[in-house]
Amino acid sequence: MSFRSVWFAAGSAAVLLSACATPAPPPPPPVAEAPAPVAPAPPPGPRAQVGAFGFDATGMDTGVAAGDDFFRHGVGKWVDRTEIPADRSSVSSFVVVAETASRRTREIIEESARSPAAEGSEAQKIGDYFASFMDEARIEELGATPLRPELDTIAAIRTRRDLSRVLGASIRADTDALNATNFYTDRPFGLWVAEDLNDTSKYRPYLMQGGLGMPDREYYLGDSPRYVELRARYLTHVASMLKLAGYAEPEARAKRVVALETAIARVHVTVDESSDVSKSNTVWSRADLPRKAPGLDWDAFLAAAGLADQSRFGAWQAGAIAGMSRLAGSKPIQAWQDYLAFHAVERGAPYLSKAFVDEHFAFNGQALSGTPQQRERWKRGVDNTSNALGQAIGKLYVGKHFSPEAKAKAQVMAENVVKAFGHRIDRIDWMSPETKAQARKKLANFRISVGYPDTWRDYSGLSIVRGDAYGNKQRADLFEYRRNVAKLGQPVDRTEWFMNPQTVNALFAPSQNSITFPAAILEPTFFDPNADAAVNYGAIGGVIGHEVSHGFDDTGALFDENGNVRNWWSAQDIARFRAETRKLADQYSAYEALPGLNIKGEQVLGENIADVAGLATAYDAYHLSLNGQPAPVIDGFTADQRFFLGWAQNYRSKFREAALRRTVVTDVHAPAPWRALTVRNLDAWYPAFDVKPGQKLYLAPADRVKIW
């Protein structure tokens, strides 16, 4: 299933102590009119866990005016005193909260690993998966042996039909057409099983582009010195991995691998193109595959993939799929064998002996992301076990760390934000009554999930064997693939969760018209049931508003109340919408993240629309929650100040240069410091911090982007 999330850590991100814009002309902004009250204020509780009232005031740098650099004003001293851990390429509020979730998850997993458990039980599987990964002596003893069956299969390829069969057998459900951080897999093709976007009452298999070992086509085709250097290092890395696996002539093989990947990069579509649902939602019949994508033996491919009985496919990046098929039919078999062998080794490396682990990290961690040090093994073990058995662990996590009270308060906040968004639809002046009616219908059909799913995933079909770390990973990936393929032809499950409760993130699923907030993000600094409501609404309220707004951003606006791709806008309304969003794209394209590297305004547009609309909606929801009572002043901060500072605190972050560059190139989210600057589009921010013409972030009222 697809989603648009609030955050993505692309290896995670330095060099960012400031994020300001160029000055814009006068006049002073009007004070926003207070919206009508609808919901009661939360009752007072104990003091909040963060600072005195839910916001870390010690992290502010009040020596910098909010109107010149709101990121620095709100969190500058936090940036100054915070060091990026040696095992990370960045640090942020999300990372800090995720570390807490990771420690809690470790306790749950290690308890399962220590305690006797019935064979086949979830506790046995959790414990044995983790214990196997942590058993370094056993892993060293095995060396490269676990790779042998897969490498032997690759070595046995003799014909194009053999190649097609191996490619089909290698496909996994590890891509997502509506999550631009997961547009491709390192396997030549990816599979996304989701609702048919034209009829969400049934599932459809979507074929996706894949096949690159570096993060994006730009890394292969870009001509900057940084990319040239990385390509040279990648060539060396490929040779080193093949040598460790026992291959002769690793340098010659590496050249063939990189040449093939460069050819793959040339047929890949860009992040922007992949994000365009109206162009990418292509349907091919079974008979179309050999006609529109010749080169691959599709009968052999689909039989090996378990998809032979499917009559219709989504071809998301149709040009890339056709291009990959051509390459499968034209490039030498030897080049494909070397390529498949390298990727088998590369995927398996984290589960193999130390030499593989170290070489894998030297390129993927140090060279690509600038991370000095490998994460502790237990942290990697926790992440890997969660990836394989996430909901089994999540069931235990919420029992220990997520109270019914926290769930209830977060649910009320989410409902208030949805109400506030409805009022914004009513007040909007650029949309026709007909389109407004459709928007209200869509909002009324929103489903909100908080904390954890109603039904937990069944892992009874997954075999986990203690002492077989590599095999456990392989079986878990295959289990997840088969679980997804088994959906085809079955009724759509609209209650399915696509994140684990212990995940620090949130999502909007456009085909389900649902928003999800896992338990682990409902923690300070995002949410504290004892915190000041203004901070909570600025922090988690902004996240909730962000996800609600995704239903009405440039992608969400293409999906109707049932999740079907259907244009429910008039031509005039969509033209007005695009004109306003163009201003936002231009606003972000003007920000320079690194010398000579500007943010790509179009690439991050959907997430920025969600930020602007989501924060404005959360602001309304906070004032609605006061039920007509005056907003309190706490420790000298007005409620509006606390609200906006709560938002800034969401995006505390610091990046290493390589990670920041990677984020700008590959991510659909703007780097966090620039997300904090969303505030300059809200009228209420100006009087809250006395922002005047001439200050760097000042925007004249006509230049402030108001989409919803």
Mean pLDDT is lowest, of 44-48, 188-192, 229-233, 531-535, for: 44-48
Res. 182 pLDDT band, cuts 50 70 90: low
pTM for this structure?
0.86
Q: Is the pLDDT of residue 21 over 80?
A: no
| Whether 81 contacts 668, CB under 8 Å | no
**What is the predicted pLDDT for the residue at 552?**
86
Measure the CA–CA gap between 6 and 669, rounded to whole angstroms: 8
**What is the predicted pLDDT for the residue at 101?**
95
| Whether 507 contacts 199, CB under 8 Å | no
Q: Is the pLDDT of residue 526 over 90?
A: yes
Look up residue 11 and give its DSSP letter. S
3-state secondary structure of 450: strand
Full 3-state SS string of 154-188: HHCCCCHHHHHHHHHHHCCCCCCCCCHHHCCECCC
Report which residue type is found at 52. A
Can you tell me which residue has the tokens 């077989």? 468
Q: List C-alpha distances in Å: 336 to 309, 324, 474, 650, 695.
A: 27, 12, 21, 45, 57
Full 3-state SS string of 284-304: EECCHHHHHCCCCCHHHHHHH
Q: Is the pLDDT of residue 5 over 80?
A: no
Question: Within a 10 A sphere around the Cβ of 441, how many other Cβ atoms?
Answer: 13
- Taking residues 551-556, what's their average pLDDT? 79
Can you tell me which residue has the tokens 């960012």? 16
Measure the CA–CA gap between 547 and 516, rounded to whole angstroms: 8
Sheet holding 199-209, edge to edge: 189-196, 199-209, 312-315, 283-285
Q: List C-alpha distances in Å: 213 to 182, 336, 364, 568, 694.
A: 13, 14, 9, 39, 47
- Taking residues 631-636, what's their average pLDDT? 94
Sign for the CA dihedral angle at 58, 60, 61, 62 comes to negative
**What is the predicted pLDDT for the residue at 373?**
94
Q: Which of 342, 322, 181 is nearest to 256 (CA)?
A: 342
Mean pLDDT is lowest, of 59-63, 146-150, 468-472, 552-556, for: 552-556
Res. 275 pLDDT band, cuts 50 70 90: confident
Q: Is the pLDDT of residue 30 over 50?
A: no
Measure the CA–CA gap between 467 and 204, rounded to whole angstroms: 37
Q: Is the pLDDT of residue 398 over 50?
A: yes
Cα angle 253, 255, 259; round to 5: 120
The per-residue pLDDT for range 80-127, each reduced to its tens digit, is 999 999 999 999 999 999 999 999 999 999 998 888 899 999 999 999
Q: Is the pLDDT of residue 11 over 70?
A: no
Residue 263 is inside which H or E element, if any?
helix 250-267
| Whether 675 contacts 587, CB under 8 Å | no
Which of 43-52, 276-285, 402-411, 692-701 has maximum average pLDDT?
Answer: 692-701
Residue 250 is inside which H or E element, if any?
helix 250-267
Measure the CA–CA gap between 193 and 483, rounded to whole angstroms: 10
Full 3-state SS string of 685-703: HHHHCCCCCCCCCCCCHHH
**What is the predicted pLDDT for the residue at 553?**
76
**What is the predicted pLDDT for the residue at 554?**
67
Res. 1 pLDDT band, cuts 50 70 90: very low
- Taking residues 674-692, what's their average pLDDT? 98
Give the CA-trace dihedral at 482, 484, 490, 495, to 10 degrees: 140
Q: Is the pLDDT of residue 271 over 80?
A: yes
List the structure tokens of 674.
Answer: 């620039």
Sheet holding 4-5, edge to edge: 4-5, 507-509, 514-518, 447-451
3-state secondary structure of 281: coil
Res. 23 pLDDT band, cuts 50 70 90: very low
| DSSP per-residue codes, 106-150 | HHHHHHHHHS---TTSHHHHHHHHHHHHH-HHHHHHHTTGGGHHH
Res. 29 pLDDT band, cuts 50 70 90: very low
Q: Is the pLDDT of residue 330 over 50?
A: yes
Looking at the chain, the whole-number percentage of residues with pLDDT higher than 70 is 92
Q: Is the pLDDT of residue 303 over 60?
A: yes
List of domains in the chain: 4-103+407-452+497-703 (3.40.390.10), 144-351 (1.10.1380.10)
More confident residue, 347 or 507: 347
**What is the predicted pLDDT for the residue at 183?**
65
Mean pLDDT, the chain, rounded, equals: 91
Please, what is the angle between helix 250-267 and helix 318-330, to 10°? 150
Q: Is the pLDDT of residue 39 over 60?
A: no
The per-residue pLDDT for range 653-665, each reduced to its tens digit, is 999 999 999 999 9
Q: Is the pLDDT of residue 2 over 80?
A: no
**What is the predicted pLDDT for the residue at 320?**
96
The per-residue pLDDT for range 442-471, each reduced to its tens digit, is 999 999 999 999 999 999 999 999 999 999
